[in-house]
Amino acid sequence: MILSGFAALLLALSAFAQQDQPRATADSQANFAIAGVVVDGVSGQLLSQAEVFIQAQGIPDSGQSMMTSDDGSFAFYNLASGHYTLSARRRGYLEQAYKQHEGFSTAIIVGAGQDTSHLRFPLPPEASISGEVTDEMNDPVRQANVILFQRGLRSGRSASWRRAGASTDDRGHYSFTHLLPGTYFVAVSAQPWYAQHDVEIMRRASNPGEVQTEELIIPPDPALDVVYPVTFFSNAPNMADAAPITVRPGEAETADFTLHPISALHLTVICDPPGGPDGPGNVWAEVREAVGEGWHEGVPVHSAQIRPGLLEITGLPPGGFDLTLHTSHGKESSVRSVSVHLAEDSKIDFSGAAVNATVSGVIRMDDGVLPSRSFIQFRNRNTGEQVGAQVEENGQFVLRGRSLDPGNYDVSANGSGGMAVRSLSATGGKVSGRSLEVAPGQDVKLTVVVSKGTGRVSGVALKDDKPVDEVMVVLVPEVLENNLDLFRRDQSDSDGSFNLAGILPGKYTIIALESGWDLNWYDPTVLQKYLPSGEHVEVTPNAKLQVKVKVQTSFQK
């Protein structure tokens, strides 16, 4: 079952009827039960005083709740047959749906012949990482930006991504709570509160009595013209050198930081002065520093225009970052970006630099209709960074602000009622499957044809002819590479059933993996092994297929 509105399970109790879900039937006999115990996900200890919720899918106001008794047990009686979402919460544990994995869980199928009275509901003890950030004077650093990265599987690949952000309080204290066990990194991005980066520009006549002037740049006091470099725990400049924090269930880890200032760098930028006879235009600089994989933090730099076409950027930390120059004059504006690596004060010549490539295009449905309220998303294959754009009423979209860095991107589309990319074509970029290769400095015009995924496959995961719950079911397209948008996943429910919806017509293989939740399922070499024993299907428009899939055991772990 896919958890919709997963963010707050409690809201399930108040949610309106989910459309397109199997409904519990009102005329069924109401003499079934959901019962079992809630246990600690690690020790197996029975948990009393846990609040357990059930909600019949598709029936508003059918939510019920109870507390587990001293022996950890709960029981809901007099239930009509149907699909139920089961969830639980308790202090010290993560609030979870039953056997939850990522955005999936196992729904409880209630009805004749189903044993739903002996459930064992493991709740994972929650963990935390907290610490203090202090400066070189041993004073707490307030409002430091603390970033938590998690390393693990994301969209079927190994990745590190920004999990959460926090700001330190007046004691320099931060905390990340309600964490699942796993591997994490913590980074701090902050600036000395006393830093002074402004340069002063004085103009004077080049020669006494002359109209022509020259500029005198007075740098800020070097003792105060300082920055804190981004610091990973423990005292590392980047994620590669950082100490991973392995968080075990129920544990509270500590990661303290002491920040040390270093001299800020100055960058002189030569650029084409915007403007015309009617007056000068504006130039401003934006600096973004890569912190971890796929995550950029803005650097609060100062920039001063010494004279048109000459910009002084101060407050830069040493290292690599993206420098973006925005220029505007009247209604015209342009954006130019460059990646720079600075070790000392430098000069960079931007004049004549190519304007950033823009990625724009049009989306239409395969039946010619304009899709309503849709969104297009680009996911960088290497960094995992995701950039998206809202599609306008006329089907057009433009990636505004920052453009895509050169590289390979998986393209996907979301919209009301569910949709998938049927085909992709582009000018200025190379397309393979549902992915796009962006070359430096080249504008890309995309044509995206999307389709309401009309096919549906439901079925049951079987092991030795017996249904198995909690297995990961993956719908794999015929061409594995570059087709992220065609994959569909689900988790088998208590009767082994699963449901894959919104499938584009085509040939697929369905695999069911026991303990498959740690699998790099988007890696073709990993996936190959399971395909021979999968169930091959051909989905035609509006097809509603029913399949039986053999459960395989994940080779990993």
Q: Which residues bind another protein (CB under 8 A)?
A: 8, 10-11, 13-16, 51, 53, 60-66, 91, 128, 137, 139-140, 142, 169-171, 175, 177-178, 193-194, 196, 198, 200-205, 218, 221, 223-224, 302, 304
CA–CA separation, 350 and 348 (whole Å): 6
Q: Shortest CA distance to 53 belongs to which of 44, 66, 42?
A: 66
Find the shortest distance in angstroms from Cβ 146 to another protein.
14
Name residue 361's amino acid. Answer: G
Q: How far is the CB of 553 from another protein (least distance, A)?
A: 38
Task: Tell the smallest beta-carbon distance from residue 317 to another protein (Å).
Answer: 19
Q: Considering beta carbons, is residue 73 or 196 the nearer one to another protein?
A: 196
Q: What's the min distance (Å) between Cβ of 76 and another protein? A: 9
Peptide bond into 155 cis (omega under 30): no
Supply the minimum distance, in Å, between the C-beta of residue 348 and another protein: 21
Which residues are CB-contacts of 379 (< 8 A; sequence separation ≥ 6)?
155, 385, 386, 409, 410, 412, 484
Q: Which is nearer to another protein, 27 or 170 (CB)?
A: 170
Chain centre to alpha carbon of residue 71: 39
Element (H, E) at 202: strand 200-205
Q: Which one-letter DSSP state was computed for residue 526?
A: H
Helix (H) or strand (E) holding 527: helix 524-528
Q: How far is the CB of 284 from another protein (least distance, A)?
A: 12
Residue located via tokens 């017509």:
505
CB of 75 or CB of 468, closer to another protein: 75
- 512 - beta bridge partners? 473, 551
Least Cβ distance, residue 335 to another protein (angstroms): 22
Nearer to another protein, 205 or 369 (CB): 205
Nearest residue (CB) to another protein, 67 versus 355: 67
Q: DSSP assignment, residue 163?
A: E
What are 107's two structure tokens? 């729904």
Q: List, in sequence order, every residue forming a beta bridge with 123; answer none if it has no partner.
A: 40
State in angstroms the smallest separation of the CB of 3 from another protein: 17
Closest to another protein by CB, 61 vs 478, is 61
Are 504 and 539 contacting, i.e. CB atoms less than 8 angstroms apart? yes
Shortest distance, position 550 Cβ to another protein, whole Å: 40
3-class secondary-structure state, position 501: strand
* Residue 436 to residue 431: CA distance in whole angstroms: 5
Residues of 53-69 as b/e, b for ≥16 C-beta within 10 angstroms? bbbbbbbeebbebeebe
- Give the residue with the Cβ less far from another protein, 33 or 201: 201
Give 64 or 117: the residue with its C-beta nearer to another protein.
Answer: 64
Single-letter amino acid code for the residue at 264: A
The distance of closest approach from Cβ of residue 220 to another protein in the complex, given in angstroms and rounded to an integer, is 8
Mapped onto helix, strand or coil, the DSSP state of residue 251 is: coil
Decide if 521 contacts 528 (C-beta within 8 A): no
User: With respect to another protein, which residue has the nearer C-beta, 205 or 439?
Assistant: 205
Q: Measuring CA to CA, which residue among 391, 403, 454 is closest to residue 428? A: 403
Residue nearer to another protein on the CB measure, 262 or 439? 262
423 vs 24: CA distance, rounded Å: 37
Place of tokens 């899918």: 57
Report the residue number, 202 or 355, with the smaller CB distance to another protein: 202
- Measure the CA–CA gap between 104 and 505, rounded to whole angstroms: 24
**What are φ and ψ of residue 394, in 5° steps?**
-85, 10
Minimum distance of another protein from residue 316's CB (angstroms): 17
